[in-house]
Structure 1
Amino acid sequence: MAPNRELLTTREAATYFGCSRQKLEWHRHHRNGGPRYSKIGALVRYSLNDLHAYLEETKVEALR
């Protein structure tokens, strides 16, 4: 069975955001406003839709 590309590992999500894996883990452990994720047993997965939504939620308008 082919892997579901709609669900990303922590490492893949970090690459998508351009941050470290540890940064996403920190947000998970501190529940500090990071992107939504799902836990399946010990596995953590990030939905592409949730990653896109997180980027939209954290968008900051430029000041002029």
Structure 2
Amino acid sequence: MSLEVEDVSTVNELRQLLLSRKILPTDDYLFIHKQRIMRDNCSLRWHGVGDGDFLYAFKGTVYHSG
């Protein structure tokens, strides 16, 4: 599926958009771009996402120890 969002949007804003449009069911997700886990509070630009890039959503969460 193709989706257009601003590069200054955060990963969390993207998640909320997908949930509001019922593209993702309500659950915990992590997003992957170029084999790297994306941070919720960082923008797509910060992650280096460009036009035509693929983002992958996986059900689950990441826990940081320490």
Same-fold status (TM-score > 0.5): no
| TM-score, normalised relative to structure 2 | 0.30
Report the structure number with the largest CA radius of gyration: 1
| TM-score, normalised relative to structure 1 | 0.31
